[in-house]
Structure 1
């Protein structure tokens, strides 16, 4: 019998939690415990999380979290993510509850103040990929820059159990870009959800064309004289912002964190999980743990 390959699933906790909240809140009904505590996001999170673990069969699982809105990126650019509204009130108690549920599965919750979950995921992917296959579970296309020979980025699509699993080949086929070019693309076009502008007047179509022709931002800048006059003027005018936005888009893979493989082996204790599910009145999820 073929030995099952070891792999680690790195979960973008906030991406799953927010998706779960909005997917259920859209009906206008918020699931609560009998004590009135909202749990709709946590309930949905568990369904996404469990399905991914069953689908990809990792031997190890880690969940990464943002630790507040102030990071080194907000120091670099005061408007970074400044367009984000406060989370809905019903979500507030669920930020701690979801981590308790993750812990009940025996899965470490990882987050470092001053950095984003993306940076923790990038660092762990770099740490573990020499010895394990790595799957990154998220809804965030920024993480596609982490795709590597042994790192696949799994993007949650609409509906349960619906994933796009990106390796280098699919990324090239679908986006016409390499992982490194994802960063350069963001430098050129910015990111409206993270609230940084890129080069004013350069859209995705132009940026992808420039990158496929010249390879990188460096390649584009070395060939400015070959660009159409209008495009060249836009880039020259926004050079400083171009470099800043590329830096903001770059996931840091050297965050000062340590998570040992033996701490994240996927062997949940059914009693611990059942007890947490009972506390949160997750009757519909009991069948998951047998």
Structure 2
């Protein structure tokens, strides 16, 4: 099981009231919410391995070089933070992130980020190397591109909290979007994504993108059809695809997650007891993690122990 950590703690932050505070009065809603997520996931799905994948670089320069608008709107407005390339993060979330990493480390849950890459790329690379089934837990639809029924890779997409998860497989993607996981990145490139600063092809939305993929197979097939006078495209579609040529030449590399990055040597085995009980006890007391942390510990403890 691979966790898109930032996606999940953002959801926790916005889904759990900020009245949840430490003994000193600091908000810990993201910390406790993420711990509740993890406890529920372990209890419900019983993974034998678990990796918390992190954004070592939320906006990699190599993606920005290809599409300069990539995530531009998320860059912090504060001039110093913007100069450093920092992501705009709610004031009361930023201080909770180091607490989250410290708790994960004390629990002994593997935590992996790779310089120059997003968590999506770490997830993509772990998935590519997996020899067994993989569950990716994320609130980011971009990772639907990893879904692969043949390799038993699915995405657990939180719909409401983490109690209600959409179990995303190829059949569900075909039903909802008329594409498979293998076709999802091409659809996303055509459609674009304002939340990531990806313009897409003007006038091509989700449904049109899916129809074009069904008709011509993939993005190269669509581009080839645009310059083929015998292909069944409307004049407007043909012009839009041709005009978007420079964007479509680079968009796939930006949209597709990396699957071949060098990963650190970590033990992904789900711990059955905390790696550092004393540190965990201190963190629990300092931040008032209470029942949320206890639920994780209960979920990790083997039955009958």
Query: Shared fold (TM-score greater than 0.5)?
Result: yes
> Could you tell me which residue of structure 2 aligns to residue 90 of structure 1?
92
1:228 equivalent in alignment to 2:234: yes
Task: Pick the aligned partner of 1:269 from 273, 278, 295.
Answer: 273
CA distance in 1, matches of 2:96, 2:107: 17
CA distance in 2, matches of 1:56, 1:174: 24
Q: Would the aligned equivalents of 1:188 and 1:246 in 2 still touch at CA under 8 Å?
A: no
Q: Would the aligned equivalents of 2:23 and 2:287 in 1 still touch at CA under 8 Å?
A: no
Q: 1:168 to 1:139 in 2, by over 3 A?
A: same
Aligned-residue RMSD, C-alpha? 1.8
The DSSP-based 3-state class of the residue aligned with 2:187 is helix
The DSSP-based 3-state class of the residue aligned with 1:154 is strand
> Could you tell me which residue of structure 2 aligns to residue 20 of structure 1?
12
How far the C-alpha of 1:274 sits from its partner, in A, is 5.0
> Could you tell me which residue of structure 1 aligns to residue 216 of structure 2?
214
1:194-248: CA deviation from partner (whole Å, max 9, x where unpaired): 1110112211121111111111112212222320011111111111112222221
The DSSP-based 3-state class of the residue aligned with 1:259 is coil
How far the C-alpha of 1:102 sits from its partner, in A, is 1.3
> Could you tell me which residue of structure 2 aligns to residue 76 of structure 1?
66
Task: Pick the aligned partner of 1:119 from 114, 118, 121.
Answer: 121
Q: 1:17 to 1:182 in 2, by over 3 A?
A: same
How far the C-alpha of 1:68 sits from its partner, in A, is 3.6
Matches within 5 A, 1:33-182: 33-71=22-60, 72-84=62-74, 86-128=88-130, 130=131, 132-148=132-148, 149-182=151-184
CA distance in 1, matches of 2:286, 2:111: 20
1:99-152: CA deviation from partner (whole Å, max 9, x where unpaired): 111112211110012111000000001112x2x211100011110111122211
Q: 1:15 to 1:286 in 2, by over 3 A?
A: closer
Q: Would the aligned equivalents of 2:32 and 2:293 in 1 still touch at CA under 8 Å?
A: no
CA distance in 2, matches of 1:120, 1:210: 30
Q: Would the aligned equivalents of 1:11 and 1:136 in 2 still touch at CA under 8 Å?
A: yes
Q: 1:196 to 1:153 in 2, by over 3 A?
A: same
CA distance in 1, matches of 2:265, 2:170: 26
1:248 equivalent in alignment to 2:254: yes
Q: Would the aligned equivalents of 2:12 and 2:34 in 1 still touch at CA under 8 Å?
A: yes
> Could you tell me which residue of structure 1 aligns to residue 2 of structure 2?
10
> Could you tell me which residue of structure 1 aligns to residue 291 of structure 2?
284
How far the C-alpha of 1:35 sits from its partner, in A, is 2.2
How far the C-alpha of 1:42 sits from its partner, in A, is 0.7
CA distance in 1, matches of 2:95, 2:272: 24
Unaligned runs of 5+ in 2: 77-87, 299-305
How far the C-alpha of 1:153 sits from its partner, in A, is 1.1
CA distance in 2, matches of 1:169, 1:35: 49
Normalised TM-score (structure 2) = 0.85
How far the C-alpha of 1:275 sits from its partner, in A, is 4.9
Q: 1:167 to 1:70 in 2, by over 3 A?
A: closer
Q: 1:275 to 1:54 in 2, by over 3 A?
A: farther
> Could you tell me which residue of structure 2 aligns to residue 6 of structure 1?
none
